[in-house]
Amino acid sequence: MNKIEQLQSYLNEMEIDAAFITNPDNVFYLSGFKSDPHERLLGVMVFKDAAPFLICPQMEIPDAQNAGWSGDIIGHVDTENAMEVLHRTASAKSDSIRTLAIEKSHMTVDRYEALNEFFGNPSFFALDDKVNAMRVIKDEAELEILREAAALADYAIEVAAKNLREGITEIELMTEIELALKKRGVTHMSFDTTVLAGSKAASPHGKTGDRKLQSGDLVLFDLGVVHKGYCSDITRTLALGEPSEEQKEVYEIVRRAEEAALNAVKPGVTAAELDKTARDVIEKAGYGEYFTHRLGHGLGISVHEFPSLHGSNNMVMEAGMVFTLEPGVYVPGKVGVRIEDDVAVTETGVEVLTKFPKELQIIHHS
């Protein structure tokens, strides 16, 4: 059953007449067409008992076709009321739409009011949880793309290690990394690339800046790429010159915490249990107060998606889920270390998508 069919089956089960999906990430998930329409209307309409259609700005129709959407595509131009076009098209497909599923965490009030007007005050149903539940399990095609995205993140850290030297600034390092990725065809990063040197890595508010690297710095890299519509997200902390005993100790604690969480990943374990596994290691070492964030987050079309790996999420892990494991210890003004992998739950355990070594890399370039 493909994704559209899964959604149709759900609409039938719930006795919902139609679903109108407008979150661009969800439109991409269902249609293969990725587009940022800004204020213009883009969406997929799925019916319980009719063929779906895609609605988009007229000029984007060729892109939508090229993206592989084989259903009907309805264009609209700026001089039309796009909601009127939507209603007219939907009414021709289905006699009566009395219940309509929408993404309540994405749809804006003005569009909601327009739907109310054109569809005659239908009953609205929140589709967010269902789409999240679909997206949380990756199929083999998605996993293959996520592997490729993770390999590009590994490569970025290799470039970072190669360029780590005294005197280079955080921004210059960031630029070297992104330049190398562009040469491999990467056009977008998952988020602003972070390079934090020395005590800056210990601040939750640290921003990549003009700080020059010095021997004795631990340097934290947090970055990811968007590849075929999917995101990677890696963190590694590298040492420039010989680290202090304290730096080595903190690094080793974080590395063991990450490893413990990684070894605990399998179908049946909960998000909270994974978080606790890593947190226990850090707490036992006496650094619990310095691990100030959740263990990780789901990864896919969005760089932050379901599941969220925190201490009060009892969601059970299943094969096909992909998420980050990223414990960190931040001793203010002194030392900051985070290690982050992207992992997929398999039938029997875990597949680690990011492969750059996690033993502390000590770089001696000057």
User: How far apart are the C-alpha atoms of 301 and 25, rounded to whole Å?
Assistant: 6
CB-wise, 59 or 133, nearer to its own copies?
59
Asked if residues 94 and 49 have their Cβ atoms less than 8 Å apart, the reply is yes
CB-wise, 69 or 356, nearer to its own copies?
69
CB-wise, 50 or 61, nearer to its own copies?
61
* CB-CB neighbours of 47 under 10 Å: 20
Q: Residue numbers of the site for its own copies (CB under 8 A)?
A: 38-39, 59, 62-63, 79, 102, 104-110, 112-113, 124, 126, 128, 171, 174-175, 179, 182-183, 187-188, 192, 204-205, 208, 304, 312
Least Å distance, CB 112 to its own copies, is 5
CB-wise, 126 or 316, nearer to its own copies?
126
CB-wise, 63 or 249, nearer to its own copies?
63
Least Å distance, CB 199 to its own copies, is 17
What the block records as the tokens of 222 is 């947090």
Least Å distance, CB 237 to its own copies, is 21
CB-wise, 220 or 344, nearer to its own copies?
220
CB-wise, 1 or 38, nearer to its own copies?
38
Q: How distant, in Å, are the alpha carbons of 84, 141, 208, 334 from that of 351?
A: 48, 15, 31, 34
Least Å distance, CB 180 to its own copies, is 10
User: How far apart are the C-alpha atoms of 115 and 74, rounded to whole Å?
Assistant: 17
Least Å distance, CB 269 to its own copies, is 22
Least Å distance, CB 304 to its own copies, is 7
Least Å distance, CB 272 to its own copies, is 14
Q: How distant, in Å, are the alpha carbons of 8, 9, 29, 317 from that of 2?
A: 10, 11, 11, 22
User: How far apart are the C-alpha atoms of 33 and 250, rounded to whole Å?
Assistant: 44
- CA dihedral defined by 26, 29, 34, 36, rounded to 10 degrees? 10
Q: How distant, in Å, are the alpha carbons of 21, 68, 82, 201 from that of 46?
A: 8, 17, 17, 47
CB-wise, 2 or 121, nearer to its own copies?
121
Least Å distance, CB 4 to its own copies, is 23
Asked if residues 298 and 315 have their Cβ atoms less than 8 Å apart, the reply is no
User: How far apart are the C-alpha atoms of 61 and 54, rounded to whole Å?
Assistant: 9
Angle at the Cα of 324 from the Cα atoms of 321 and 327, rounded to 5 degrees? 140
